Amino acid sequence: MSDHHHKETFVTKYIFSQDHKMISKQYLVTGIFMGIIGGFMSMLFRLQIAWPDTSFSIVEAFLGNHQTDGIMNPDMYLALVTIHGTIMVFFVLTAGLSGTFSNLLIPLQIGARDMASGFLNMVSYWLFFLSSVIMIISLFVEAGPASAGWTIYPPLSALPQAIPGSGTGMTLWLVSMAIFIASSLLGSLNYIVTVLNLRTKGMKMTRLPLTMWAFFITAIIGVISFPVLLSAALLLIFDRSFGTSFYLSDIFISGEVLHYQGGSPVLFEHLFWFLGHPEVYIILLPALGISSEVISTNARKPIFGYRAMVGSIMAIAFLSTIVWGHHMFVSGMNPFLGSVFTFTTVLIAIPSAVKAFNYVTTLWKGNLQLNPAMMFSIGLVSTFVTGGLTGLVLGDSALDINVHDTYFVVAHFHLVMGVSALLGMFAGVYHWFPKMYGRMMNKTLGYWHFWLTIITAYGVFFPMHFIGLAGLPRRYYTNTSFPMFDDLADINVFMTIMAIIGGAAQLIFIANFFISMYRGQKATQNPWNANTLEWTTPVEHIHGNWPGEIPEVHRWAYDYSKTDENGEYVHGKDFVPQTVPLLDGEEPS
Amino acid sequence: MLALFYIFIAVAIGVSFWQITRIMNFRSVIATDEDNEKQAKYSLAFLAFLYAMMIYCLIAMNVIMLPEAASVEGEHDDNLFNITFWLIGIVQFGMQFLIFFFTYKYRGNKNNKALFYADSHKLELIWTTIPAVTIVLLIGYGLWAWNNIMYVGDDENPIVIEVYSQQFRWDARYAGEDNQLGLGNVNFIKGINTMGVDMSDPSAQDDKQVTELYLPKGKKILFKFRSQDVLHSAYMPHFRAQMNCVPGMVTQFAFTPKYTTAEMRQNSEVVAKTDGINKIRRAKGEDPYEFDYVLLCNKICGASHYNMQMKITVVEEEEYNKWLSEQKTLAQVIK
């Protein structure tokens, strides 16, 4: 590999770069940008939920002709909810999280010069960029962006007569997502091939750090499930534009009978959730992988039950592809299928419980270095447990009947995949910032960011369970049409205030991120005293990662605080990098 | 409350500016023992906060939650929910304690050594088996309840009622004396035949179209759902009942009302919730609220999704029969 001798221009270094480290930074910054947009939208619609009759100049300023006197229109409310969901799920927590850390860490942690195909990797990022641009453009079309919910169930998403956002806005949404899926597939294929083929000498699969296992399995689920969403979207495009009837049948709207015959919206639901549910794990597993690494490093202790953790990841991944029907218990699907999906769904609790217990056991008797990244990872375990447990309610078909599509669901998935994955992403940024930018992030700001984030996250989403149990449906523009929900108004105000503080707290992160990039303290080569290979590369980025030979791996990644019979550290310090050969008589862990 | 909110914003922005200006001369980046001490204490404080919030929510929000199920089938649902909720509640309290207490207890110090403890088959076995067994029991009860709710035997002789949805209203059609609904299809929608009933179908003649649901107490009702345009979902929270209305197909759901509306208004949980609501309404100068069963739309369906509702009244059987006999048949209404 002699690439690093080539002279690079500004364009090949910063824009059309094929270097995985630069691509990962591009993903991260794009993801943060999209996150600001998606997060800001949630602030706007939270204002509407808390104070439905109050005029806000900020609404007036941002929503143009989609508001009347500072109060947003119902269509715009639905559009904001839809685009918030789309951006957060796909652009931030799929591309922003997986794209950033898979790209950064896969070659570095397995000991490879770069991804298997740097070119495809570059194409993958630029397709993601293109799809982001199209999604943003869709916000400005006259009738408003897509507004049929992020699940875009037809017929609502197919008929502009039903909601104005299903016109040009929906077309752009579909185009953007199709490109996004192409990007995601190119990325995932690259990750899989790289992990399988480019591991350095000694890096057996059983020695891979858990981050690698998580990213590897995530990529596999992505390759299995994303194409199904693509086909679902294609069929929807056909129905919308070319008069086919895959999803539509017997519709009378705006005073006329439409020509559609024989299609079924339930088919779309099946196709959508065949991606949609694995998508939850595409988001969550990388966050869990990151926190495994961060918790073990900062606890100065091996991750407890490495094999069980790998097994759990595989079990979760496998089960995730056969549970999609639990989103459809009351869709009109055959009740027998409901029973089957209940069974498979609730089984996921087992590997999830194993993971949670293993994290807690890793903390037990550790020597916890409570760096910001560690705090975020501990926060992740907390919200993962809180959010995961209510899955036992929702996964049980009999119970789901009454909480389906209420705020109980919103609380559940925000905690278990939204907040958890976001905390995992932050943990990753704080932990690997020195690897990405050669500088350190400020820890005081990190602590402020963490505590404000977790307190407000619980403040928003914990009470939300209870308004769901009061029967409040999600996606209601206002709750004032039903007197039975009048007593929920105060809680909604509280949640909105919490959400806005939480949103504002993210500004601390953004400031810390960008200031540290230029003014942060210079990083040392291995600031966290970690074992994994990425910390053996020089601080300054070079093409090809290691200046000389790629180091050889002699042990697993978790030899922290390994002691001999006398209680002394075997290598004189509380960590043993993977590159250190076994001593005479030292047992491999 | 709005003022409070602006104050919060101001404080948040203030704090961020203050901290961000400090970064200029503040370059510490890796946690010291002092940081570990501090963060460990904060973790303990956070645990207290979390417990306080959970307990507060469990107690104070009891009154806003839905009252006990008003359908026979809903009883099992409530039971199962209570069991599940207690179970996850206990696990939640236990796990959060472990997470944040361990964070406190095992805070790092340069004189400490972590325990090298990488695996234990026994522990792994315990926490695989216990959740597995618990879950099997939960699923067992859950599936039994599900089958009980979803399958309606022919011998139960349910009263058949069609619930018909369109943007943004609900209509209902009673099957009449033959207890058989006439066929419906959007192609038949014309003039006052707004539900698209095929009037050449003999069983359609005695059907009765209404805009409000009246249900007899103690009789099994089999709802058939149709939609005219997009997906809707008929959600009747008090009966623990919900089913999507799907254009192009007929879906169904059945339950047996257990309390009349009048009885439900006397229910202690309903009284408490109603009192709470009326206190708020009085303060705002609005008319008092009286409890009614309601059917609401719970699948995003367009601009007025938030206001798509139909009143449900449960009455004794005689009153139901009397009300039904007063309604006109389709044959009388549509020539």
How does pLDDT run across A336-369, given as a tens digit for each residue? 999 999 999 999 999 999 999 999 999 999 999 9
Contact B309 A482 (CB under 8 A): yes
Q: In which element (H, E) is residue A244 found?
A: none
User: For residue A93, is it within any domain?
Assistant: yes
Contact B84 A331 (CB under 8 A): no
The bridge status of strand B213-216 relative to strand B309-315 is: parallel
Cβ-contact A230, A174 below 8 angstroms: no
CA proximity to A89, closest of A332, A274, A302, A275: A275
Report d(CA B128, CA B122) in Å as an integer. Answer: 10
Report d(CA A283, CA A265) in Å as an integer. Answer: 26
User: For residue A302, is it within any domain?
Assistant: yes
Helix axis angle, A265-299 to A349-363, nearest 10°: 20
Counted domains in chain A: 1
Buried b (16+ CB within 10 A) or exposed e, A49-73: bbbbeeebeebeebbeebbeeebbb
Helix axis angle, A118-137 to A20-50, nearest 10°: 20
Contact B305 A78 (CB under 8 A): yes
The 10s digit of each residue's pLDDT in B14-24 is: 776 776 666 55
Q: For residue B81, which residues of chain A lie inside 8 Å, CB to CB?
A: 393, 399, 402
What is this model's ipTM? 0.93
Contact B64 A343 (CB under 8 A): no
CA proximity to A211, closest of A120, A103, A125: A103
Report d(CA A83, CA B203) in Å as an integer. Answer: 47
Report d(CA B29, CA A444) in Å as an integer. Answer: 8
Residues in chain B: 335
Shortest alpha-carbon distance between residue A151 and chain B (Å): 10
The 10s digit of each residue's pLDDT in B250-295 is: 999 999 999 999 999 999 999 999 999 999 999 999 999 999 999 9
Q: Say which amino acid occupies B233.
A: S
Shortest alpha-carbon distance between residue B230 and chain A (Å): 5
Contact A343 B139 (CB under 8 A): yes
The answer for residues whose C-beta is within 8 angstroms of residue B200's C-beta and 6 or more apart is none
The answer for residues whose C-beta is within 8 angstroms of residue A153's C-beta and 6 or more apart is A265, A268, A269, A272, B231, B299, B300
Q: For residue B299, which residues of chain A lie inside 8 Å, CB to CB?
A: 153, 405
For A288-351, give the DSSP string.
HHHHHHHHHHHHTSPPTTHHHHHHHHHHHHHHHTT-GGGG-TTTT--HHHHHHHHHHHHHTHHH
Buried b (16+ CB within 10 A) or exposed e, A299-323: bbbbbbbbebbbbbbebbbbbbbbb
Shortest alpha-carbon distance between residue A355 and chain B (Å): 10
pLDDT, residue A1, reads: 43
Nearest Cβ partner for A346 among B88, B120, B139: B139
CB-based contact (8 Å) between B25 and chain A?
no
Beta-ladder partners of B241: B236
Which residue's structure tokens are 């502009």? A160
* Side-chain-facing half-sphere of A286: CA atoms under 13 Å: 36
B185: closest chain A residue by CA: A250
B76: closest chain A residue by CA: A398
The answer for residues whose C-beta is within 8 angstroms of residue B49's C-beta and 6 or more apart is A455
Report d(CA A119, CA A126) in Å as an integer. Answer: 11
Inter-chain Cβ pairs, chain A and chain B, closer than 8 A: 434
**Where does B155-333 sit in CATH, by number?**
2.60.40.420
Q: Say which amino acid occupies A491.
A: I
- Peptide bond preceding A155 in cis form (omega within 30 of 0): yes
User: For residue A454, is it within any domain?
Assistant: yes
The predicted model scores a pTM of 0.94
User: For residue A5, is it within any domain?
Assistant: no
Q: How many CB atoms lie within 10 A of CB A243?
A: 11
B58: closest chain A residue by CA: A466
Contact B300 A521 (CB under 8 A): no
Residues in chain A: 589
Contact B23 A445 (CB under 8 A): yes
Report d(CA A116, CA A107) in Å as an integer. Answer: 9
Domain containing A293 — which CATH number?
1.20.210.10
Contact B146 A335 (CB under 8 A): yes
Contact B36 A252 (CB under 8 A): no
Cβ-contact A368, B111 below 8 angstroms: no
Nearest Cβ partner for A486 among B39, B243, B280: B280
Backbone φ, ψ for residue B119 (5° rounding): -165, 150
Q: Which of B33, B244, B274, B312 to mutate to test the interface with A (most CBs of A within 10 A)?
A: B244
Identify how many contiguous H helices and E strands chain A contains and give both numbers: 19, 4
> Percent of chain A at pLDDT above 90?
88
User: For residue A580, is it within any domain?
Assistant: no
Burial of residue B168 (number of CB atoms within 10 Å: 0-12, 13-18, 19+): middle
Q: How are strands ordered across the β-sheet holding B309-315?
A: B213-216, B309-315, B293-297, B232-236, B241-245
Nearest Cβ partner for B80 among A398, A459, A483: A398
Q: Which of B64, B77, B235 to mutate to test the interface with A (most CBs of A within 10 A)?
A: B64
pLDDT, residue A2, reads: 43
Which residue's structure tokens are 């139909």? B310
Q: For residue B53, which residues of chain A lie inside 8 Å, CB to CB?
A: 458-459, 462
Q: Using alpha carbons, list the distances in angstroms from residue A186 to A127, A183, A220, A311, A427.
A: 10, 5, 12, 26, 26
Q: Which of B17, B29, B149, B224 to mutate to test the interface with A (most CBs of A within 10 A)?
A: B29
Beta-ladder partners of A72: A67
User: For residue A581, is it within any domain?
Assistant: no
User: For residue A488, is it within any domain?
Assistant: yes
CB-based contact (8 Å) between B193 and chain A?
no
Residues of chain A with pLDDT under 50: 1-4
Query: What's the CA dihedral at B28, B32, B36, B39 to 10 degrees?
Result: -10
Contact B306 A478 (CB under 8 A): yes
pLDDT at B126 over 60: yes
Q: For residue A252, which residues of chain B lie inside 8 Å, CB to CB?
A: 166, 186, 189, 196, 228-229
Q: For residue A163, which residues of chain B lie inside 8 Å, CB to CB?
A: 302-303
Domain with CATH 2.60.40.420 in chain B: 155-333
pLDDT, residue A571, reads: 87
The 10s digit of each residue's pLDDT in A213-229 is: 999 999 999 999 999 99
Nearest Cβ partner for B27 among A363, A521, A574: A521
Report d(CA A296, CA A288) in Å as an integer. Answer: 12
Confidence of residue B2 (pLDDT cuts 50, 70, 90): low
Helix axis angle, A372-389 to B74-105, nearest 10°: 160
Report d(CA A398, CA B149) in Å as an integer. Answer: 8
Report d(CA A184, CA A278) in Å as an integer. Answer: 14
Q: How many CB atoms lie within 10 A of CB A39?
A: 18
Confidence of residue B27 (pLDDT cuts 50, 70, 90): low
Shortest alpha-carbon distance between residue B49 and chain A (Å): 9
At B292, list the tokens. Answer: 């009614």
Q: For residue A236, which residues of chain B lie inside 8 Å, CB to CB?
A: none
Q: For residue A332, which residues of chain B lie inside 8 Å, CB to CB?
A: 225, 243-244, 246, 249, 251
Query: What's the CA dihedral at B98, A371, B49, B97 to 10 degrees?
Result: 0
Which residue's structure tokens are 């203030």? B14
Q: In which element (H, E) is residue B214 found?
A: strand B213-216
The 3-state secondary structure of A8-64 reads CCHHHHHHCCCCHHHHHHHHHHHHHHHHHHHHHHHHHHHHHHHCCCCCCHHHHHHHH
Which residue's structure tokens are 């119970």? A399
Contact A398 B76 (CB under 8 A): yes
pLDDT, residue A16, reads: 87
User: For residue A1, is it within any domain?
Assistant: no
Shortest alpha-carbon distance between residue B284 and chain A (Å): 11
Which residues 78-137 of chain B have a CB within 8 Å of chain A?
Answer: 80-81, 84-85, 87-88, 91-92, 95-96, 98-100, 102-103, 106-109, 112-120, 123-124, 127-128, 131-132, 135
Cβ-contact A367, B108 below 8 angstroms: yes
Three-state SS at A170: helix
